[in-house]
Chain A
C-alpha cells in the first residue's frame, strides 16, 4: 500500500475484433479483456469466476487458441481475432457440435463455468487432445466445475470430437 501512487487517468483508444465484429473502446490500459467484454461490451457470456487465472470460467479464443481473459489485458489483443461463447454458433443459430453435445449429455448444471468449459472443449478437440477419456480429463482439467458435471463433460467432448472427425 502506497499513498504516493498516482493513478493515471490515461485512456487508450483500441479496436477489438470479437466474433467477427469490430468494437471501438476507450479504456484504461489496466482493463482486462474479461472486464472489457463484460462491463464495456456487455458480452457477459464469458464468466468471471476467480479473476486470478485459477478457474477457467473466462476462457476465450485468441487467434484460435484458448486464453484466460482475466489474465489478458484488453490492449494486448488489439489486432487479434477474439472468439467468445456468443460467437461460437453459426450465424443462423446452428449450435457448434460441442454446444449441442453439452446440452444432450447434460454437461452442466448451474451453467456458470459452462461457456469456459465449451471454449476449452472446442480448443481441446482442435488441439488433438480428445483422443481418449483420459486425455480429455487431463486437457479439460483447467476448467473447474463446482456442480460436478465432469463425467458428463467428458462424455460431451468425446461425442463432439467423434462428430467433428466424421
Chain B
C-alpha cells in the first residue's frame, strides 16, 4: 500500500465514522458471534423458573383453583394464585395519571380475556415448572364474551371526542361534490411478534430490585415496579443491554412482569419468567382491529372538496386504547372541508397496544386506498391525483411544514420504478397467467420529540465512554451515538464505548414513536460538546498544560490529538494531555431540557410521556414523509398475490447513518407486506380465543416472500425537528405499504379488497 492510499483510506474511514457515515453496527460483532447477552440470558446463582397458567375462557370468574397436584410435583417451590400472591400497590399509567385502584393483582379472579394470567408455578427448573403448570386445575363461572368488533353485542362504542377534527362543512360539501366515493376499510388484529419473547429475571436484595427485562423504556418501567412494590424509584434497577425486537410492545411493565417480581420477593430467590410463544399473543396487546369509512368529494378536475372520515378501533373491557385513525387522513391532502370522528368498542381482549406506527398505519390504509379509488373514478393517474391535492401546509394545524420532501419522493420513486410506463386500465398488464399490477401510496409519521440526557466521559487513556438509559433494539442507537460522540470530540469511533440499557445511567424517555435518535443524538452532542469545552478549557488554563503558554483562544481535537487550529505549538494525544495535567477523567452530563427544569419535572419527563413536545409546537408542523411504488403479481386462477418489486422514496430528514436507516426502512416495508397479505389474528367465536397464536399459523413474511426493495433518501436536514437535523425513521416506512399493495392488486385484477389481509379467497 502506498502512502497515498493510506491517506485515502484514513479519510474514507473518517467519512464512514462521522455522523451521516455508513458505519457498520458497533454492536454487530457481539450479535454475530453469540456473545451479546440479552436481558433474561443473565446467569444468576439460585435462579428459579416461573411458568404462567392462563384463563381458558374470555369472560367470567375463576370460581376455584386446585393447585395441590402442582404444589407436590417435583421441584415446585410455589404455586401463586389470585389468593396467594402478595398484594401490590396500584401504579400510575404511562401518562402519569394516578392509579384507579389502590391495589393491584396481576393474577385475575375476574377474567376479561382468554389467556389472562390466573396462576403461576415456580420451580427449580424450567421443565419442572412447565410440567407442574399443567397440573393446576381451574373452575370458572363463564359469562358471554364479546369476541370482536363484528360481535352482535359489541355495539357502536364510545365516542372519543379528543380524536374529532373538523373544519368547514364536510357533510354539505361532500353532498354537493360532483364526484364522490365512499368506502369502508378494515384492518384485523395484528401482532408485533418480536423474535425475542417477552420475559424477565427479577431479583430482590433487601428492598432493592433488579430487573433484567427487554425494555423500550427503562425509566418508565422502573417507575412502575417502584410504585407496585412501594420502594423508591432509585431502588429499582432495570437492565436491558440488547432487545430482540420490540415494535412498540416492550415499553411497559406488564402483568407477567409483576408476577415474576412478586414471586422473587415472596421466595427470596431470583425468578425467571419468559412468556411462551402462544402467551406472547395474549399477554400484551397487538394492534387493535380497526374499521374506517372514508368519503371523498371532488370537483371534476380531481380537486378534493371534502373528506368525511369515521373510525372505530377495538379496545379492552378493562383498559383503554385509542388507535388514532384520522392522523394521516387529516394532513395528507389539501381540502377546504374535513370531518373525522372516532369511537372505540370494548371487546374481551387484552388491552391493545402500540405496534409500529400506531394510528398512522391504519389511517393511511383508509385514505391512501380511497384516494386511489377517487383517481380511478376520475380517470386520473394516482400520482397525478396526489399532486393535484398536494398540501402546501398542514391542513389541520394550518402551519407551514418544517420540511416536506414528498413531491421529491413522488418524483424520485416514480422515476426509479418506471411509473410512467404504467398502463392505466386494471387487468391491462400480464405475464402469462400472472396479472401484474402497479400501485402506489404515500405515508407519513409525525416527528415526536422529547428530552433525554447523556453522560460523556473522556478517560485517562483518551478513550470516551457514553452512558444513557436509552436502548438499542436494532435501530442502531449504539452506533449513531458512538458516531455523534466521536465526531463532536474529534476522536476515532473505535475509541468510543457506548453503554446503554441500564436505568442507573443518565435518564431517557421512551424509545418509541421514532423519537430516540433525534433526542439522544442531541443529548450526546450536547454532553460531548461540554466535555470538549472542559478539555480545551483545561488545556488553555491548567498550569501543567503544555498549551497554557500558547496564549491561544481555543484549541481543536482531531483524530484524538489536541493542537492549536493554526498548527503552532505542541500537539498531544488526549491520553498524553490527561497524563500531563494529572486527570483521571473529564465527565459531562448533557440534557436537552431548559436549565430551569425542576427535579420533579425531570422525573416526569423521563418516566411518563406527558411531557412529549407536540409536533405542531411553534410555527411548524413536523413530519417524515414517503412514497411507495409496488408491483404485484396475482395468479389469475388461484388469486395468490406476490409482491415482486418495491421502490420507496423517503424523507426522514438528515440520516445519522444511512446504512442502518435503510435497513429500518426495509424492515418497515417488509412488516407492511406482512400486514397487507398475511397477518391476521383469528378469534374463535365460541371462546374468544386467538386460535393462531404461534409462528406457523400467524403468518409473518419469510425470506421467500420478499423481493428486492429499493429505498431512496430524499430528506434534507430539518433544523426544526432535531438538533442534528434528522426526522423519524423507524415507523415511517410501514405507513402506506398496505394501501400501495391493495392499490396494485386492484390494478392487477380490477378487484378492490378493502379488508386486510388480501388473501386469495377475497380475489377468487
Contact = CB atoms under 8 A, between A and B. Distances in A.
A35 B476 CA distance: 29
A161 B38 CA distance: 29
A147 interface: yes
Interface in A94-141: 95, 99, 102-104, 106, 108-115, 118, 136-138, 140-141
A50 interface: yes
Given A7-B73, A118-B32, A49 B695 contact: yes
A109 B667 contact: yes
A52 B278 CA distance: 10
Given A44-B38, A106-B660, A149-B667, 15 more contacts: A7-B128, A49-B197, A84-B34, A86-B34, A103-B25, A106-B659, A110-B195, A110-B196, A110-B244, A112-B195, A112-B196, A140-B704, A146-B245, A147-B474, A150-B703
Contacts of B193: 146
B24 interface: yes
Nearest to A115: B34
Nearest to A39: B126
B702 interface: yes
A20 interface: no
A47 B36 CA distance: 11
18 contacts: A30-B131, A52-B277, A57-B195, A88-B33, A106-B24, A106-B25, A106-B659, A108-B28, A108-B474, A111-B30, A111-B242, A145-B703, A148-B669, A148-B670, A148-B671, A149-B666, A153-B703, A154-B703
Nearest to A1: B134
Given A104-B24, A106-B25, A151-B708, A52 B696 contact: yes
Contact of B277 (A3, A51, A148, A150): A51
Give the size range of A's interface with the partner.
35 or more
Chief secondary structure at chain A's binding surface: loop
A117 to B, nearest CB: 9
Nearest to B664: A109
B735 to A, nearest CB: 15
Given A35-B126, A48-B197, A103-B24, A109 B663 contact: yes
A46 B29 CA distance: 15
Given A35-B127, A49-B196, A137 B41 contact: no
Contact of A111 (B474, B664, B694, B708): B474
A154 B709 CA distance: 12
A15 interface: no
A54 B695 contact: yes
Contacts of A109: 245, 473-476, 663-664, 667
B175 interface: no
A137 B704 contact: yes
B122 to A, nearest CB: 15
Contacts of B35: 45, 86
A55 interface: yes
B244 A45 contact: no
A28 B243 CA distance: 31
B541 to A, nearest CB: 44
Contacts of B474: 108-111, 147
Contacts of A145: 195, 703
Nearest to B700: A144
Given A103-B28, A109-B474, A144-B702, A54 B694 contact: yes
Interface of A: 1, 3, 5, 7, 9, 28, 30-31, 35, 38-39, 42-52, 54-55, 57, 84-86, 88-89, 95, 99, 102-104, 106, 108-115, 118, 136-138, 140-154
Contacts of A141: 702-705
B29 A146 contact: no
Nearest to A42: B43
Contacts of B28: 102-103, 108
B703 A152 contact: no
A31 to B, nearest CB: 6
B197 to A, nearest CB: 7
Among A50, A136, A138, the one with the most B-chain Cβ atoms within 10 Å of its Cβ is A50
Interface string B271-284: 00010110000000
Contacts of A138: 703-704
A138 to B, nearest CB: 5
Contacts of A99: 32-33
A36 to B, nearest CB: 11
A28 B195 contact: no
Nearest to A38: B41
B706 interface: yes
Contacts of B24: 103-104, 106
Interface string B8-45: 00000000000000001101111111111110010100
Given A49-B196, A54-B277, A110 B37 contact: no
Contacts of A47: 195-196, 244
Given A49-B196, A103-B29, A111-B242, A85 B41 contact: no
A13 B706 CA distance: 45
A1 B704 CA distance: 39
B101 to A, nearest CB: 33
A114 B41 contact: no
B317 interface: no
Interface of B: 24-25, 27-38, 41, 43, 69, 73-74, 125-128, 131-132, 134-135, 137, 192-197, 242-245, 247, 274, 276-277, 473-476, 659-660, 662-664, 666-671, 694-696, 700-706, 708-709
Contact of A95 (B32, B671, B694, B709): B32
B33 A86 contact: yes
B479 to A, nearest CB: 10
A50 B693 CA distance: 11
A108 B706 contact: no
A9 B667 contact: no
B34 A110 contact: no
Given A86-B33, A111-B474, A7 B243 contact: no
A160 to B, nearest CB: 12
Given A45-B34, A137-B703, A137-B704, A110 B137 contact: no
B277 to A, nearest CB: 4
Contact of B242 (A57, A85, A110, A113): A110
Contacts of B126: 35, 39
A55 B195 contact: yes
Contacts of B37: 44
A44 B671 CA distance: 27
Contact of A110 (B131, B276, B473, B706): B473
A102 B24 CA distance: 10
Contacts of A154: 703
B702 A112 contact: no
B711 to A, nearest CB: 10
B183 to A, nearest CB: 29
B34 A146 contact: no
A9 B663 CA distance: 48
Contacts of B195: 47, 49, 55, 57, 110, 112-113, 144-147
A49 B196 CA distance: 5
A154 B707 CA distance: 10
A133 to B, nearest CB: 8
B127 A146 contact: no
Contacts of A42: 43
B137 A3 contact: yes
Contacts of B274: 48
Nearest to A112: B244
Nearest to A133: B708
Contacts of B74: 7, 9
The 10 closest A-B pairs by CB, nearest first: A45-B34, A112-B244, A109-B474, A148-B670, A111-B31, A148-B667, A110-B474, A85-B34, A54-B695, A141-B704
Contact of B31 (A108, A136, A151, A153): A108
A146 B663 CA distance: 12
Nearest to B27: A111
A44 B180 CA distance: 59
B511 to A, nearest CB: 12
B666 to A, nearest CB: 6
Q: Which of B195, B474, B696, B701 has the most CB of A within 10 A?
A: B195
